[in-house]
């Protein structure tokens, strides 16, 4: 695969993504670099909400750096595809490593070290990020801060209610129409993985786990958890399905990279939407309507999943649940 546009000093898509991330964060480019590499009217979609400008991204970045000034973003992989118009879509998996040494929305500085995984899909055209989808493992973040994810979410909801602002989270109806349209690559490996995904999450046929995953597969799940083998993966999946038994699956994007001496690597973005009507991973049922944005990187060996990194933001899921409960209590 080759880049079709000039990205300055960077000669490949992974080099570009790793490089601009370093320039913005570790090298402290922040505003100047975001102005260069992010479109002024960028659409950044995350479970925490929609950001529609680079100025908004700058403000969020500065607040994060105030609380976590030594933040490092350790890149693990970039999976990508190029399009006929010279644009490309990259999917960047990374670990955020930082210490909480500044006061802010998470309370007084605690000195705790936080490690949490992120997957960010960036659509880049003419050297600028025009659209982005970003999922952080905020459950792992909460745990590193000594908090239970549901309690962190409840605290944020109550703070936002007290401030008189809407509780912030992303729903599809909040979105704006972008130029990067959903695309599923026509590829046998992609089709096989998505068939398994539909059986598990849409049809609730968890026997598909044994077909889709190698018996010794590793699933790096939300909350910084690692699940190993069919039974362990099944337990994780059932916990979600039990909470949202009517959940509907949407597959938004999927493509594969094949490179010499490496296993095929898939990038998949999907979502669930359903009612919180069951007792499962997300506690006692509340009837809340919930939207879950999910992103995954998948390594295949002999056509089956060997390793998968699955990102959802469980704190934002809990926020939707608590916002529903708070609104019902105040009715």
pLDDT of 331 strictly over 60? no
Give the sheet arrangement for strand 248-257, strand by strand.
183-184, 248-257, 265-275, 289-301, 304-311, 213-221, 225-228
Rounded-to-integer distance, Cα 133 and Cα 214, Å: 29
Name the token pair of 32. Answer: 């100047």
Least confident piece of the model among 159-168, 184-193, 268-277, 286-295: 159-168
φ/ψ of 268, rounded to 5, equals -135, 130
Q: Which of 2-16, 21-35, 53-67, 185-199 has the lowest mean pLDDT?
A: 2-16
Residues 102 and 209 in one domain: no
CB 196 within 8 A of CB 219: no
Residues 162 and 21 in one domain: yes
Same domain, 229 and 301: yes
In the predicted model, is pLDDT for residue 117 greater than 50? yes
Task: Choose one of 174, 202, 226: the last residue of a domain.
Answer: 174
At residue 199 the predicted structure's pLDDT band, cuts being 50, 70 and 90, is very high
247 torsion bin: left (phi>0), alpha (psi -120 to 50), beta (else): beta
Q: Is the residue at 2 inside a domain?
A: no
153 and 113 co-located in one domain = yes
Give the residue from 224, 214, 253, 212 showing the smallest Cα distance to 90.
Answer: 253
Sorting pLDDT into bands at 50, 70 and 90, what band is 248? Answer: very high
Mean pLDDT of 203-230: 97
Question: Is 90 exceeded by the pLDDT of residue 326?
Answer: no
54 CB-near residues (< 8 Å, 6+ apart): 34, 35, 38, 39, 40, 41, 42
Confidence label for 7 from pLDDT (cuts 50, 70 and 90): low
Q: Which two tokens stand for residue 124?
A: 């880049």
Shared domain check, 160 and 58: yes
Range of the domain at 25: 13-174
Is 4 contained in some domain? no
Euclidean distance between CA atoms 273 and 290, whole angstroms: 6
Residues 249 and 117 reside in one and the same domain: no
Q: Pick 162 or 143 by higher pLDDT.
A: 143
Please give the residue that has the higher pLDDT: either 111 or 31.
Answer: 111
- Same domain, yes or no: 104 and 143: yes
More confident residue, 313 or 165: 313
Mean pLDDT of 271-290: 97
The answer to whether the CB of 240 falls within 8 A of the CB of 273 is: no
Predicted pLDDT at 330: 58
Residue 68 tokens, joined = 């976590």
Specify the pLDDT at position 93.
98
Q: Sorting pLDDT into bands at 50, 70 and 90, what band is 5?
A: very low
Q: Residue 201 carries which DSSP code?
A: I
Which pair of tokens denotes residue 249?
A: 């699956």
Give me the chain's average pLDDT, please: 94
The tally of CA atoms less than 13 A away on the side-chain side of residue 212 is 25
Within a domain: 58: yes
Within this chain, do residues 158 and 25 fall inside the same structural domain, yes or no? yes
Above 80 in pLDDT, residue 329?
Answer: no
The strand pairing partners of 115, in sequence order, are 97
Confirm whether 5 is domain-assigned. no
Q: Is the same domain home to 62 and 19?
A: yes
Would the pLDDT of 8 be above 90?
A: no
Q: Kindly report the number of other CB atoms within 10 A of residue 300's CB atom.
A: 22
pLDDT exceeds 70 at position 313: yes
The predicted pLDDT at position 106 comes to 84
Average pLDDT over every residue of 213-229: 97
- pTM for the model stands at 0.94
CATH number for 210: 3.10.450.50
Taking 90 as the threshold, does the pLDDT of residue 136 lie above it? yes
Instruction: For 33, list phi and psi in degrees, rounded to 5.
Output: -75, -35
Measured distance CA(74)–CA(266) in Å, rounded = 20
Q: Give the angle 138-142-147 at the CA atoms, nearest 5°.
A: 155
Q: Among 120, 139, 174, which residue terminates a domain?
A: 174
- Whether 167 and 199 share a structural domain: no
């Amino acid at each position: 695969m080759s880049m079709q546009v000039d990205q300055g000093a960077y000669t490949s898509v992974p080099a570009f993504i790793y490089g601009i991330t370093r320039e913005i964060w570790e090298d402290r480019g922040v505003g100047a670099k975001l102005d260069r590499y992010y479109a002024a009217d960028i659409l950044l979609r995350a479970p925490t909400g929609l950001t529609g400008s680079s100025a908004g991204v700058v403000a969020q970045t500065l607040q994060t750096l105030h609380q976590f000034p030594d933040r490092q973003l350790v890149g693990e992989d970039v999976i990508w595809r190029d399009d006929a118009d010279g644009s490309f879509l990259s999917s960047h998996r990374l670990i955020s490593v930082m210490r909480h040494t500044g006061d802010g929305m998470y309370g007084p500085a605690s000195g705790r070290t936080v490690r949490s995984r992120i997957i960010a899909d960036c659509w880049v055209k003419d050297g600028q990020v025009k659209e982005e989808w970003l999922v952080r493992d905020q459950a792992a973040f909460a745990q590193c801060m000594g908090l239970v994810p549901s309690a962190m979410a409840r605290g944020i909801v109550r703070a936002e209610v007290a401030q008189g602002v809407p509780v912030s989270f992303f729903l599809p109806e909040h979105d704006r129409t972008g130029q990067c349209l959903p695309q599923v690559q026509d590829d046998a490996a992609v089709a096989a993985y998505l068939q398994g995904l539909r059986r598990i999450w849409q049809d609730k046929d968890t026997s598909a786990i044994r077909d889709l995953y190698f018996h010794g597969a590793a699933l790096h799940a939300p909350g910084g958890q690692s699940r190993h083998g069919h039974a362990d993966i099944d337990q994780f999946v059932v916990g979600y399905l039990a909470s949202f038994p009517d959940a509907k699956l949407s597959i938004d994007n999927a493509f594969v990279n094949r490179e010499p001496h490496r296993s095929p690597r898939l990038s998949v973005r999907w979502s669930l939407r359903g009612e919180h009507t069951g007792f499962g991973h997300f506690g006692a049922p509340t009837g809340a309507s919930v939207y879950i944005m999910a992103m995954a990187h998948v390594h295949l060996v002999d056509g089956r999943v060997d390793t998968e990194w699955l990102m959802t933001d469980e704190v934002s899921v809990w926020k939707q649940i608590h916002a529903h409960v708070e609104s019902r209590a105040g009715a």
